Amino acid sequence: MTDTAQTWRGALGRAKALEFQEYALAIVVVLLFIAGAILKPDTFPTWDNIRNMLTQSSVVGVLAIGMTFVIATAGIDLSVGSIVAAAGVFGGIMVGTDGTSSLVFILAAILFATFLGTCNATAIAYGRVVPFIATLAMFSIARGLALLLNDKLPVSLLDLNGGSFGDPRPFSLLWFGVGRIFGIPVSVFVFLAIAILGWIVLNRTRYGRYVIAVGGNREAARIAGVPVRRIIFSVYVLSGFLAGISTVLLCARLGSASPVSGNLYELDAIGAVVIGGTSLAGGRASIVGTFLGVLTFALIFSLMTQLNMSTEIQQVTKGLIVLGAVLLQRPEARY
């Protein structure tokens, strides 16, 4: 009885702490926005720039949603940036030079990314390779594949839209990058939809509870009947799949698939997840936090570019803001 009561209290405490973290990060987001509005009143707080920041968030944002699930199981996925590059080039060569079907690119990219994610998943769940090492290996393999697949060259995808960039048809590739619905970019809708789905799955389904349980205490989860191995397998497949969607969003905006794209996106994704309050030790995860974390990075990047800060100052400032955001959350996070 007391055991149950304590567990409940612990869970409640965790929930509260998480709530505060989300609020704290929301405050950071608001503060950054206000700072931007004061420093660049004409160009920062505009609808156009908000749209721009949301679009820029979408690529890393989709990766970060997948990363939230991975980190919730106390894992890590270092390979997503490389997978984005490999999937893009793979999709590009599948389309060929005279290809006119966006669907081929989209399916090929997503399938290839999911396949690479499944390789990670197999190595980790069944080969018992530590996630850090397995995905570090994939980080290298996928980047190599990206270079190998088309002899180190980028693939232009403008042919999918008749060679130009103007007015892509709905559901064609470039539409995902530059198309708009009610004035909001399609890529933002994709990101929001995936974030909402991610929230529902993590917080409102048995699968989500299993993911958290595996990260919290693997042995206890196993005894309680959670299919631990399958859960771990699934999060890396999911991460690969979302990397595929991210690829589509990036290539659609870029109009080409480059073997050097996606460089170090995994660090931005992991950073966003962690400042969002998901614990690297597993067992605690917040999709809302991840969403705000991604926004934080986009705000910082946009503001610093608008202020035309030099690189070195940007790096120091970005580091300080990230540190500040985490410190702000710390007192309440102790439990």
Partner 1 sequence: MSRKRLAISVGAALVLALGATACMGDDDDDSAATTTDTATETTSAGGGSGETVKIIASVPPTDHGWLGAISKDAQAAAEKHDDVDFELLQAADADSQAQQIQQAISQKPDVLVVLPQDGAALTPVAQQAERAGIRVVNVDRLFTAPDAATATILGDNYQIGVLAATYIADQLKCQGNVVEIQGLAGISVTEDRTKGFTDTIKQKCPDGGLKIVASQPGDFNPDKGLTVMENILQAQSDIDAVYTHDDDMAQGVVQAIRNAGRDDEMFLTGVGGSQDAMQQIKEGGLYRATFLYNPNMAASAVNMARLIGLGEGFEELVPPEVPRQVVVPAAVVTKDNVEDYEQYAFD
Contact residues for partner 1 (CB under 8 A)? 40, 43-44, 46, 48-49, 52, 55-56, 143, 147, 151-154, 156, 165, 177-178, 250, 253-256, 258-263, 301-302, 305-306, 308, 311-312
When the beta carbons of 2 and 311 are compared against partner 1, the nearer one is 311
Nearest to 334 by CA among 23, 18, 9, 25: 18
Residue 156 one-letter amino acid: S
Q: How far is the CB of 78 from partner 1 (least distance, A)?
A: 16
Q: How far is CA 210 from CA 124, 188, 228, in A?
A: 17, 29, 8
Q: How far is the CB of 76 from partner 1 (least distance, A)?
A: 22
Q: How far is the CB of 246 from partner 1 (least distance, A)?
A: 11
Count the Cβ atoms, other than its own, within 10 Å of residue 130.
Answer: 12
Residue with tokens 């505009």: 46
When the beta carbons of 27 and 50 are compared against partner 1, the nearer one is 50
Q: How far is the CB of 146 from partner 1 (least distance, A)?
A: 8
Q: How far is the CB of 308 from partner 1 (least distance, A)?
A: 5
When the beta carbons of 99 and 154 are compared against partner 1, the nearer one is 154
When the beta carbons of 227 and 319 are compared against partner 1, the nearer one is 319
| Extended beta strands in the chain, E state | 155-156, 180-181, 184-185, 256-257
Answer for the pair 253, 138: CB distance below 8 angstroms, yes or no.
no
- Kindly tell me the burial class for residue 20, based on how many C-beta atoms sit within 10 Å of its own C-beta (0-12, 13-18, 19 or more): middle
Tokens of 312: 């070195």
Which residues contact residue 9 at a Cβ distance below 8 angstroms, ignoring those fewer than 6 apart?
none
Answer for the pair 55, 187: CB distance below 8 angstroms, yes or no.
yes
When the beta carbons of 101 and 156 are compared against partner 1, the nearer one is 156
Q: How far is the CB of 178 from partner 1 (least distance, A)?
A: 5
- Kindly tell me the burial class for residue 93, based on how many C-beta atoms sit within 10 Å of its own C-beta (0-12, 13-18, 19 or more): middle
When the beta carbons of 118 and 150 are compared against partner 1, the nearer one is 150
When the beta carbons of 61 and 255 are compared against partner 1, the nearer one is 255
Q: How far is the CB of 49 from partner 1 (least distance, A)?
A: 5
What three-state secondary structure class fits 248?
helix
